[in-house]
Structure 1
Amino acid sequence: MATLTRPAPAPVPTDPARTGRRSRTPLTVERLSCALGAEVSGLDLGDAAHDDDLFARLRALLLEHKVLFFRDQDLARADHVTLAERFGPLEDHPVLGCDPDHPGLVRIYKDADTPVDRFENAFHCDATWRNNPPMGAVLRCVESPAVGGDTIWVNMALAYERLPQHVKDRIGGLRARHSIESTFGGRMPIEQRLALKERYPDPEHPVVRTHPETGEKILFVNSFATHLTNYHTDENVRYGIDYAPGASDLLQYLVSQASIPEYQVRWRWTAGSVVIWDNRSTQHYAVQDYWPAVRQMERAGIAGDRPF
């Protein structure tokens, strides 16, 4: 499946018990880096899943900070799904497993018996191999290692803003292909890999996208991007070397911008912590330094629109 067609739930009346608990603690917002990210305290996400005013505040904070961090959330799976669905319909994942009782809630469980993969420990924007990549996600930590297993997020609007002007001029109209076949499908038998590609043909996205709500320009290439599709023009290519490796060198330079620490924030997980991020304007990297310790996460991915 791609986007789940389950409709977003109707507004639910505020639970008086939740309202009473919320009112005793003031909401505070603390920035965690100069680039992006804020830790929010005094807000119960279970309340925000059912309260229109709280959710509106939450959404505004997300647009402002791009990533929101929460500690000590007693968030049931049903509320996790309800909260994410307030942003939009949820998506399943063609490779990762979903919770059987909550379609759209992807289980990312790692332990000593789980084969080590290399999908998360690269800077990436989730599922850009879809025609409509996700708008964002709500990720909840079920169990964390005693140390390690952090996640890094990157402000890709800032990464674009700080590119040299001559690079901005060069990439303004460029587009790139993004592939699930060469990433998640790479370890599959050829028949299965080709079937995956047939189900998710490599989409083409702008190298620089515009955020549909803030209007920001965002550098929109990541580890799912395989090549530039409209680079080989008379303006760009004098000799073959300008294209090969010139085009791939340019793409790798752009992808590498996510690794600049000045654009990043890093989060140390604890059980019960939750992160909400805007997938349109950020990338992230899950540090896999904790094996064979256990790390169990559950992610609700929110369907998005086609980049422009």
Structure 2
Amino acid sequence: MSLPERPANLPHPEYQTPRGVSPLQSVRGAGLEYPNYTPFKLPNLALKSFTDRGLSAHPEKSSLLSAVSSITHLTPEIGTELSGIQLTALNDPQKNDLAALVAERGVVFLRDQDLDVHQQIEFAAYFGALHIHQMAGIIPDLPWVHPIYKDETAVNGRSHQIWHSDVSYELQPPGLTMLRMDTLPHAGPGGGVAGGDTIWASGYAIYESLSPKLRAFLETLEAKHSGLEQAEKALRTNGCLRRDPIETIHPVVRTHPVTGWKTLYINENFTKEIVGLEKRVGDILLDTLYRTIAEGYEFQVRWKWTPNAVAIWDNRATFHTGIFDYFPHLRHGLRVAPQAEKPYLDPNSKTRREALQEKMEDEKTV
């Protein structure tokens, strides 16, 4: 595979990230700001056709799972760690199986992955058109990469510690999303590597934990997701804005196209209001759901990073937050996010538990 076609007007055309080198070193070594906020313009995003790779997976995901040395389900509800494989060695059927596993388990983890940023981009591009963030810092020649970077200058870093789904205000927010951490904070006792864990929560499990009456009500609702505050902050802090900021209406409950399961789809970062409800009532409902996400520990998995570990999660069916407990130490990783379908609710879809129970009953009758 090769890299996607680069936008024509990227800044710093003289710069190229060398293969096998972290941009954390190479960009600054070239005398450029990192992450880079040099302004450039992109066309506004428009709806594109999308077919999830997980739809082509084997029902048992046998191509992938037969190649691993171990499979560890980290909690009953969410999170699976695979050992014994390198992502760069996977063939297309194995990638399809991986997409289906991520769709089912919410997030899949792999340690000790030997891939550079170019290989990460190439791998992620198999799953869909790569998202370029409207205002976040980038690598100058690789705009699809969102550097996850905090150091001694991140004095307000704790303000980012909010449960969210990435850029849910987009017309087609990301689905499968990939983060590789290459530099971890030495924030432990005696300068040991510690801190900067990430927590994910299952939208499937949280949704099915709600009462049937509340679920039925939520399925009638839509919510406004907004990128305006993020855009205003960028302009206020001398950042850059690459596209016209948008607000988008999405269903409060959406259906995953691979699993067919319903999942809660609101988040504290970008969901601003419930459409058609009095704001006071809508805000109370949203706050209740946000608290369920944050306090539902049985629906969460906490991941302790190691160098070159990778997390691949489904941004449609999970929420996540990074733990900012390492100031003023350095933490750095690279995230790439393929866009997925426009969120929708299939009225015939089921909760995860309902679907699995139905499958078990069908198997008994065969």
Corresponding residue of 2:291: 256
Aligned-pair CA distance for 1:107: 1.1
Q: Is the 8 A contact 1:142 1:296 kept in 2?
A: yes
Corresponding residue of 2:264: 219
Tell me, yes or no, if structure 1 residue 80 matches structure 2 residue 151: no
Aligned pair partner of 1:46 in 88, 92, 115: 88
Change (3 A) 1:35 1:185: farther
Q: Matched residue of 1:178: which SS?
A: strand
**Matches of 2:242 and 2:212, distance apart in 1:** 36
Read off the aligned partner of 1:268 and give its amino acid letter. Answer: K
Read off the aligned partner of 2:207 and give its amino acid letter. Answer: Y
Aligned-pair CA distance for 1:119: 6.1
Read off the aligned partner of 1:252 and give its amino acid letter. Answer: D
Read off the aligned partner of 2:293 and give its amino acid letter. Answer: A
> What is the number of residues matched between the two proteins?
276
Q: Is the 8 A contact 1:129 1:180 kept in 2?
A: yes
Aligned-pair CA distance for 1:219: 0.7
| CA deviations over 1:33-69 (Å, ceiling 9, x no partner) | 1111101101101112xx2233233223222312010
Q: Is the 8 A contact 2:150 2:157 kept in 1?
A: no
Aligned-pair CA distance for 1:230: 1.8
**Matches of 2:136 and 2:252, distance apart in 1:** 27
Aligned pair partner of 2:202 in 151, 155, 160: 155
Q: Matched residue of 1:99: which SS?
A: coil
Tell me, yes or no, if structure 1 residue 297 matches structure 2 residue 313: no
**Matches of 2:244 and 2:155, distance apart in 1:** 25
Read off the aligned partner of 1:173 and give its amino acid letter. Answer: T
Tell me, yes or no, if structure 1 residue 274 matches structure 2 residue 310: yes
**Matches of 2:169 and 2:160, distance apart in 1:** 15
**Matches of 2:276 and 2:241, distance apart in 1:** 25
**Matches of 2:290 and 2:244, distance apart in 1:** 26
Read off the aligned partner of 2:161 and give its amino acid letter. Answer: N
Q: Matched residue of 2:217: which SS?
A: helix
Corresponding residue of 1:29: 71
Q: Is the 8 A contact 1:130 1:200 kept in 2?
A: no
**Matches of 2:164 and 2:183, distance apart in 1:** 23
Q: Is the 8 A contact 2:100 2:258 kept in 1?
A: no
Q: Matched residue of 1:98: which SS?
A: coil
**Matches of 1:118 and 1:196, distance apart in 2:** 23
Moved more, 25-34 or 212-221: 25-34
Output the TM-score relative to the length of structure 1: 0.82
Tell me, yes or no, if structure 1 residue 228 matches structure 2 residue 274: yes
- Name the Cα RMSD after superposition: 2.6
Q: Is the 8 A contact 1:119 1:184 kept in 2?
A: no
Read off the aligned partner of 1:226 and give its amino acid letter. Answer: K
Q: Is the 8 A contact 2:102 2:176 kept in 1?
A: no
Q: Matched residue of 2:229: which SS?
A: coil
Q: Matched residue of 1:122: which SS?
A: coil
Q: Please show how residues 123-272 of structure 1 align to structure 2 within 5 Å.
A: 123-145=163-185, 146-183=193-230, 185-186=232-233, 188-189=235-236, 199-223=244-268, 224-231=270-277, 243-259=278-294, 260-272=296-308
Corresponding residue of 1:67: 107
**Matches of 1:300 and 1:54, distance apart in 2:** 19
Unaligned residue ranges in structure 2 (runs of 5+): 1-41, 47-63, 186-192, 345-366
| CA deviations over 1:72-123 (Å, ceiling 9, x no partner) | 1111112111110111111111221222232301112111134534564111
Structure with more strand by fraction: 1
Change (3 A) 1:229 1:47: same
Q: Matched residue of 2:308: which SS?
A: coil
Q: Is the 8 A contact 1:153 1:284 kept in 2?
A: yes
Q: Matched residue of 2:126: which SS?
A: helix
Identity of aligned residues (%): 33
Corresponding residue of 1:285: 321
**Matches of 2:93 and 2:258, distance apart in 1:** 19
For CA contacts below 8 A with separation 6 or more, give which structure has more relative contact order.
1
Aligned-pair CA distance for 1:184: 5.5
Q: Is the 8 A contact 1:3 1:303 kept in 2?
A: no
Change (3 A) 1:197 1:105: closer
Q: Is the 8 A contact 1:3 1:91 kept in 2?
A: no
Change (3 A) 1:168 1:264: same
**Matches of 1:217 and 1:135, distance apart in 2:** 15
